[in-house]
Each structure stands twice: as C-alpha cells, then as structure tokens.
A and B are shown apart, each in its own frame.
Chain A
C-alpha cells in the first residue's frame, strides 16, 4: 500500500533520529516526541512500531532499512551506518542550497514559475525523504521587482514547450504601432525576459525573418503539427549576445556606439556594465567616454535617453538624432 505524505514524514523523522550523532540509540519515547514535535500531532506506539516494520520490509514493498533494537542501550539503530532511507543522501548544505534556490527562483521568476519549481523540488526532496519547509508566513529576506502579472504571461508554458520540442505556433498578433491584428505562424526558439516583460523569438513565416514578439501582444497561441524551421545557432547567438534589449532598430548592423557620460552616470555604467562589449575610458574629472560594439536597439536608445543630460550620444550621428526624436 502506498505510504501517505504524512507517513513519509514520519519515516523521515525516524530516519533522522536513527542517523543522529547527537542522540544515539533513540528509544520509542524519543521517537514519539520527535514526531509529535515536528508534525504537531499525536502518534501512538503502534504507529511507530508499524512504521519501523514498514521501513525494515524488503524493497520494493519497504525500504530494506537495517534497523535493530539494541537491548543493552534500550534504543533503535541502523546496523549499517551508511544506510540512507531512500535515494541519495543530502547533506545539510545540499538541503539548504535547494531551499535557497527555491527562494531565489520564487523571488526572481515570480509565483508562476516559482510554484512549478517548488512543486518539482518538493518531489525531489520527497525522494530523499527530506522535508520541505512550510514557511509561507516567514518574512521574505530576498526581494526583487515583482510587478503584477502582465497580459500574455499565461502563454509561457506553450512557448516553452514549443521552443523545447520544436513546434511551430499559430498566434494572433496585435501590433501596437500599426494598430493591426494578424494571424501568423512562428517557429520559436527562445523566450526572453527583459525589464520584466516577456518575449518570444522565432522565425516568422509571414515576415520571412527572425522576429521578436511581446507576450502582451499575442492572443490564442496554438502549437501546430507541421515541420519546424530550425534557426541557425549563429543567429540565435547574435540575438542573445549582440543586443541590449529586445527590439533591434531596423536595418542596423552591429556597430560601434560611443557615448559621453558625466561623473554621475559613469558611476552607474562602471558598476553595472550593460553589455560585454562595454569599454569605459575615464577622464580625470570622473566623466568618461564609453564604447559599445553591438546592434543598436530601441531599449538601448531609451536607456541613454533615461539618463537625460548625464549621457550624450557621440557616435553614430544617426543614433543621436534617433534618440532626440524619441
């Protein structure tokens, strides 16, 4: 008979007690107290006796646990100290790392992905019979910008599956700039997050080129059973490494971009480089000339603009004019 989650937790606690170096040969009373303290409910001697018998049963019905009762010390122990109840043993460090990972993913990715990850980790920990902490009431010590869930984020799963399993997707797209709907097929290869907005990158049959589509402008994506058009790895690398942001300015190749930053803005660029190509030449007064070698994007233009008088675009001239018109 399959063991309940509560049953697993009891076994987990018994296992920990038997492996404890602090209190060796725990007796029945000790085990009951340990379980009652952790699970906050009463357990009987019979329940613990059944649990121990269950642990001792041969696999696959039981866990092959080499538990014996030491009459001299009046307590239980493992005859094989290397025995672990199930799966791979986790050290405290392993366990804490998993719990920290879950907290970080919850904070960075938001509740949807975080919850999926938590659920997966609960399964991993249940295999190792480690207990997942029930601490939703604890005050978070890690906080990232966590905006309200944006429109279109519900498409995450279908696009993730499409990227992973190479499925073209039929979507309804609404262009904010053209104010026009269209139905089109994309062959997605990547999901990208930038400034808390989500995008899917893929080959668009209609445009006959790689395009980026904001989740918020997509309606009703449907995965298609038709051949998937693969995108060259070089193009994918270009999309991921040669941009700052998401939307490239049309018809612009990778090029050198030069800005002048005053001392205040220099501090920010120095502390938070925005691209791997960033090279900063600092002047005596703290201002700097900063060089980039990348494909110019709308987001890069907006970033420079956001610094106001603290940043001036020197090269190329067309980008300076473009930013002034934004």
Chain B
C-alpha cells in the first residue's frame, strides 16, 4: 500500500514585483507548517540598502476561502517593529516564514503582509500550488 504523502516541496521563483524583490523561492507544505523561503537583494534605491522586516500579522489565505493561516515563526528576518538594516546596497538576505499548515491539495495562495499594502509590503497574490508538481523530500530533523 502506498504511504500517504504528508509533505511536499515546490520550487517556484516568483518575484514580488518587477524588481524581483523579494523573490518567493520555495514553498514546503506539510502537516506541521507551511514554510515559505524568500530571497531579498538590497538595492541602491535606499541608503545603505535600506532595511527589511515582516509584520507579525502576516498570513496566508487560499482563494475561495476566508480562513487565515497565521504566521507562526520567522527565520532570517525580524518581526516588526524590529528590522534588519543592511550595511550596503549589495547585501542580500535569505529568510523563511512558517505559517499554519494548509491542506495538501491544489490551491491558489495569497500571502498577505498588510491588508492595505504599500508598494513596500510583501504581498503575493495568485501563487498556484499544484500537488502533482510537488516533490517529496527527506526530513533531516
């Protein structure tokens, strides 16, 4: 009998905007959490590359559902009001957000940092997750 799949990895590389910043790199859906990996490259638009932070109120919502999957943990980025200040316009930061687990089924995700976002907020809309495209992985923990 085939084991039931309990976690899947998706390599996505979805840009937030034309500057590709931050890039949504990977989503891991499991029974424990929904993990989302991001990469941010500092730019010369801001002095010394500026700063980044994540709202503790951030959540995931699935298209067609009002349920919010809240942020549980952040790794590599501070939660507001604290922030990570870059030291140069050439810095970069890899960070991971852990949200409540979403169901393991085809879905369209919206990642909402702010409900009334400014261009600086990390809101992503319409991220398609097709379970058939996910890959099982070895759990190293």
Binding site for B on A (CB under 8 A): 158, 167, 170, 172, 174, 179-185, 219-220, 222-226
Interfacial chain A residues near B12, Cβ < 8 Å? 183
Bound state CA distance, A181 and B28, in angstroms? 17
Whether the Cβ atoms of B92 and A224 lie closer than 8 Å is no
Closest A residue to B28 by CB, please name it. A222
Whether the Cβ atoms of A222 and B138 lie closer than 8 Å is yes
What number of residue pairs across chains A and B have CB atoms under 8 A from each other?
67
Is B2 an interface residue, CB under 8 A from the partner?
A: no
* CB<8 Å pairs between A and B, sample of 5: A172-B94, A179-B41, A222-B137, A222-B140, A225-B138
Closest A residue to B11 by CB, please name it. A183
The 3 closest A-B pairs by CB, nearest first: A181-B39, A225-B136, A183-B25
Which secondary structure characterizes the binding site on chain B?
strand
Is B70 an interface residue, CB under 8 A from the partner?
A: no
Expressed in whole angstroms, the minimum distance between the Cβ of A219 and any Cβ of chain B is 4
Bound state CA distance, A181 and B26, in angstroms? 11
- On chain B, the number of residues with a Cβ less than 8 Å from chain A's Cβ atoms is 22
Bound state CA distance, A223 and B136, in angstroms? 9
Bound state CA distance, A172 and B96, in angstroms? 11
Whether the Cβ atoms of A174 and B92 lie closer than 8 Å is yes
Interfacial chain B residues near A181, Cβ < 8 Å? 23, 25, 39-41, 92, 94
Known: A183-B25, A183-B37, A224-B135. A158 touches B11 (CB 8 A): no
Known: A183-B12, A222-B137. A172 touches B37 (CB 8 A): yes
Expressed in whole angstroms, the minimum distance between the Cβ of B16 and any Cβ of chain A is 12
Known: A170-B135, A180-B20, A181-B41. A220 touches B9 (CB 8 A): no
> Which of A167, A172, A180, A184 is close to B138, meaning CB atoms less than 8 Å apart?
A167
Known: A174-B39, A182-B25, A183-B11. A219 touches B94 (CB 8 A): yes
Whether the Cβ atoms of A179 and B11 lie closer than 8 Å is no
Whether the Cβ atoms of B94 and A220 lie closer than 8 Å is yes
Whether the Cβ atoms of B39 and A185 lie closer than 8 Å is no
Known: A158-B140, A174-B92, A220-B37. A182 touches B135 (CB 8 A): no
Known: A172-B25, A185-B11, A220-B94. A226 touches B135 (CB 8 A): yes
Whether the Cβ atoms of B41 and A223 lie closer than 8 Å is no
Interfacial chain B residues near A158, Cβ < 8 Å? 140
Expressed in whole angstroms, the minimum distance between the Cβ of A45 and any Cβ of chain B is 51
Interfacial chain B residues near A180, Cβ < 8 Å? 20, 23, 41
> Which of B13, B41, B137, B138 is close to A183, meaning CB atoms less than 8 Å apart?
B13
Interfacial chain A residues near B92, Cβ < 8 Å? 174, 179, 181
> Which of A170, A172, A219 is close to B137, meaning CB atoms less than 8 Å apart?
A170
Interfacial chain A residues near B136, Cβ < 8 Å? 224-226
